[in-house]
Amino acid sequence: MAVFTDVRFTSDVTVQALAESVSLLMSSNPKGIMLLCTDEAASWGETFNLWVNKLKVPIFGGVFPGLIVNSRFEPKGILAVGLANDIHVSVIENISNISPHSVNVSLTSSSVHSVVIMVDALSRQIDGYLQQVLHSISDDCCVFGGGAGTLAFHPQPCLFSPKGMHQDAMLLVEMTTEWDLAVGHGWEVLAGPYLANKVDDNRIVELNFESADKLYQRVVEEHSSLLFDEHDFFDIAKTFPFGLARLDDTVLIRDPIKVDEKGLICAGDIPENTMLYIMRGDAQKLISAASGAVRNTLVNMISTQHMGDCILFDCVSRQLFLRDEFTRELQQIHAELGQHHRLVGGLVLGEIALDESGILSLHNKTAVTALARVNAEERVR
């Protein structure tokens, strides 16, 4: 039994093109629609709001720097995916300014097997809201998703729901579909660790009691031929992310995306007094980590289960780092899944995944592949 009723891609990023794609998609009788669009859709505004109000099925999605269709990377377009199973979409607004502890994020049904989360990547307090979601789900619930926005890092509407477009918000999409996750990054330690002795949510103010931006720039310039005075900050920083040491000996990647007068702003929260490494990457190790994670997940699937359609949320800064090699990453992931399985997704600004240890995190520079789990008897239907 397919998880996607139909998949429609168009390179024309207009509301009219969206309406035409969804009209074709509706002939497959979807119970919900996942909508992934590139940067141009951020300006749709009221035109989108008027269109979505007439739609008969729930919709969710966001604006991202790129799209994934099977083994192809698409830098511009609209990807509309029909969903065969029921979904429920809820929106939490103004998450940067409202305490996560004051918001009720309880799920609407006990039959929920998974939650897809999409969030404005420029919002603050993302980690706090993720922990609230974690407290509201059952032990066997799968959670994954990604951060929406553009590489301009300019605050603007970037999320879609049945209510319209949203900024500084989080979408919670409850699904009856079961998914297994494959999570891998492949980044290695270059220098450190350094104590993040002063932080402010997603901003690192001091490292080792020194101005964070000065220490970071000094270390990176010592280990490379790059000079920050000669490049845009993110052009260099995309190659040298932070690694956050965790108690299970894994390293959570954090992307420094820009610097301001107060410190280094990252795509995700940084706990105070944590130890941070500065990381580096090798193209083949990154690709092997992403495809190897899929292989391991497939091996661990029990014999009564089969894989259906798949969703990939891959970090945009992996694509910026790998450049022409990024297509090889997609090809190897799709090859592990099998060419007859459909793979859709987007390049995101932060990847969300609940790991086997029960930790729900916002990752950076990581590939998160969700493999739909279909029981053997359902597959026969």
pLDDT of residue 250: 79
Q: Specify whether the CB–CB gap between 373 and 140 falls below 8 A.
A: no
Q: What is the pLDDT of residues 7-65, one digit of tens each?
A: 999 999 999 999 999 999 999 999 999 999 999 999 999 999 999 999 999 999 999 99
Q: Is the pTM of this model over 0.85?
A: yes
Q: Which tokens go with 289?
A: 């980590």
pLDDT of residue 381: 38
CA 239 – CA 321 distance, rounded (Å): 6
Q: What is the pLDDT of residues 127-173, one digit of tens each?
A: 999 999 998 888 889 999 999 999 888 899 999 999 999 999 999 99
pLDDT of residue 89: 96
pLDDT of residue 246: 80
Neighbours of 108 (CB within 10 A): 10
Q: Which tokens go with 108?
A: 């609407």
One-letter identity of residue 199: V
Give the percent of the chain with pLDDT over 70: 96
pLDDT of residue 307: 74
pLDDT of residue 379: 43
pLDDT of residue 247: 72
pLDDT of residue 377: 45
pLDDT of residue 378: 46
Q: Give 19-28's long-range contacts (Cβ < 8 A, gap of 24+).
A: 19/51, 21/78, 21/80, 22/55, 22/80, 25/80, 25/82, 26/56, 26/57, 26/82, 28/82
* Regions in the chain scoring below 50 on pLDDT: 304, 376-381
Question: How large is the angle between the packed helices 283-300 and 326-337, nearest 10 degrees?
Answer: 10
